[in-house]
Amino acid sequence: MRILSIDPGYERLGIAILEKADNREVLLFSECFKTSSKLAHSERLNLIGEEIGKVIKKWRPESLAVETLFFSTNQKTVMAVSEARGTILYEGARSNLPIFEYTPLQIKMAICGYGRGDKTQVIDMVKKLLPKTDLSKIKYDDEFDAIAVGLTHFASYKTNYYRK
């Protein structure tokens, strides 16, 4: 099974393609896609949609796993990220991908075994869960978060699939 997993963002978007083969998870691709604050809001959303479309076309995932929003105190950021998330969901639906959503708490539970784990714990566990993968070139935690979303999906896929 091949999945597209995303840590939604507006300025930075974590994207990963993972595959489960021979009963183990394999990272095929990951990136931190960035949009410039100098661009108009609508152009940034368009770029996000185009990038997701390109990734879907190239890697042909069977489903989309995406993190739900964590509401912080900055409403302007929450609105921009929610609109970016809407663009992501639209591209997934347009490509007829089943869409699975995971809360930050669910992701931390699946990856760290503790729902209040911090970014460092998530990154350390992703590295341990993918020991044969060179993750040294990853600069942003958004990319690690996207990989964690995908690993969470593999850990809970059967449960969530039968709920749909």
Q: How many other C-beta atoms can be found within 10 angstroms of the C-beta atom of residue 39?
A: 12
Integer angstrom CA distances of residue 141 from 9, 120, 154: 12, 9, 20
Q: Does 142 qualify as catalytic in the annotation?
A: yes
Point out the catalytic residue in the list 19, 25, 67, 141. 67
- CA–CA separation, 86 and 72 (whole Å): 18
Query: Per the residue annotation, which of 25, 91, 142, 145 is the catalytic one?
Result: 142
Q: Give yes or no: 118 in active site.
A: no
State residue 56 phi and psi, 5-degree precision.
-60, -45
Report, as residue numbers or ranges, the catalytic residues. Answer: 7, 67, 142
